[in-house]
C-alpha cells in the first residue's frame, strides 16, 4: 500500500490532481512556455547597484553594492524547488518560471571560466535564507546565494516580478555589474541553463580592461 492509498483509507482523501510534488529539478520540461521580452528590464543598463545588505549563503550577509564593486554576474531567479513541497499553482504554465536549478548548476559548472575573466557570481531570489542554504548544500553551489524575501531589490531597481498563488516572485534576469553600476542585462533568459554560456560569450566580446 502506498502512502497515498493509506491516506485515502484513513479518510484524508486523495491529493488533488493539480498539486504536484516534483522529484527532478535538474531538467527543464520540453513544453514549458518561452518568455517574451516585454521591455521590463530596458531601463537597467547604467543603473547604480543599490546598497542593500541581504542574507546570503553559507552564512551572514552581503552588501550588493559592495559585491559589485568588482566585475560580478548577478542572476535573479524566481524560486528553486524545495524537496517535498509542491510547486506553486500553475508554475509550469508561467513563462520563465521553471529552470532555476539548471541555471544555478550551469553557473556552478562554468565558475572557473567566469573567474578567468575576473568575474564573480551571485544568485538572488525572494526565497527565505533557509531554503537558499538547503539548495546550496544540496546542489553544491560554491558562490553566494542572496535572500530577498521583502523584494527590496525589485522595489529599488523596478525589477519585473510575477504572482503565483499568494506569492510574488522575481522574473528571471541576469545583469553584469562593475564599479557598482549595471553594464549589461540578459532579459528574458531562456533556456535558463544556457545563461552561463551567454554570459561567457558576452565577456569574451568585451575589450580588455
- For residue range 169-198, list pLDDT tens digits in order: 999 999 999 999 999 999 999 999 999 999
Q: Which of 69-78, 83-92, 99-108 has the lowest mean pLDDT?
A: 83-92
> In whole angstroms, what is the distance from residue 98 CA to residue 65 CA?
28
C-alpha cell at 104: 544555478
Instruction: List the chain domain ranges.
Output: 63-83+90-209
* Homologous superfamily of 63-83+90-209: Glutaredoxin (3.40.30.10)
Question: Residues of 189-198 as b/e, b for ≥16 C-beta within 10 angstroms?
Answer: bbebbebbee
Structure confidence at residue 26 (pLDDT): 62
The pTM of the full predicted model, rounded to 2 decimals, is 0.87
Of 21, 162, 171, 161, the C-alpha closest to 82 is 21
Task: Grade residue 27 by pLDDT with cuts at 50, 70 and 90.
Answer: confident
Amino acid at each position: 500500500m502506498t502512502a497515498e492509498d493509506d491516506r485515502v483509507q484513513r479518510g484524508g482523501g486523495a491529493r488533488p490532481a493539480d498539486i504536484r510534488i516534483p522529484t527532478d529539478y535538474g531538467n527543464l520540461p520540453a513544453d514549458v512556455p518561452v518568455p517574451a521580452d516585454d521591455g521590463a528590464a530596458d531601463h537597467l543598463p547604467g543603473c547604480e547597484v543599490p546598497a542593500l545588505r541581504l542574507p546570503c549563503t553559507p552564512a551572514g550577509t552581503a552588501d550588493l553594492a559592495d559585491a559589485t564593486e568588482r566585475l560580478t554576474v548577478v542572476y535573479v531567479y524566481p524560486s528553486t524547488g524545495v524537496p517535498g513541497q509542491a510547486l506553486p499553482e500553475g508554475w509550469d504554465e508561467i513563462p520563465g518560471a521553471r529552470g532555476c536549478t539548471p541555471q544555478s548548476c550551469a553557473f556552478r559548472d562554468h565558475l572557473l571560466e567566469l573567474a578567468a575573466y575576473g568575474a564573480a557570481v551571485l544568485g538572488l531570489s525572494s526565497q527565505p535564507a533557509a531554503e537558499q542554504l538547503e539548495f546550496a548544500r544540496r546542489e553544491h553551489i560554491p558562490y553566494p546565494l542572496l535572500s530577498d524575501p521583502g523584494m527590496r531589490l525589485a522595489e529599488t531597481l523596478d525589477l519585473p516580478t510575477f504572482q503565483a498563488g499568494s506569492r510574488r516572485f522575481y522574473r528571471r534576469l541576469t545583469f553584469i555589474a562593475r564599479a557598482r553600476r549595471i553594464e549589461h542585462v540578459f532579459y528574458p533568459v531562456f533556456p535558463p541553463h544556457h545563461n552561463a554560456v551567454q554570459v561567457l560569450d558576452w565577456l569574451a566580446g568585451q575589450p580588455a580592461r
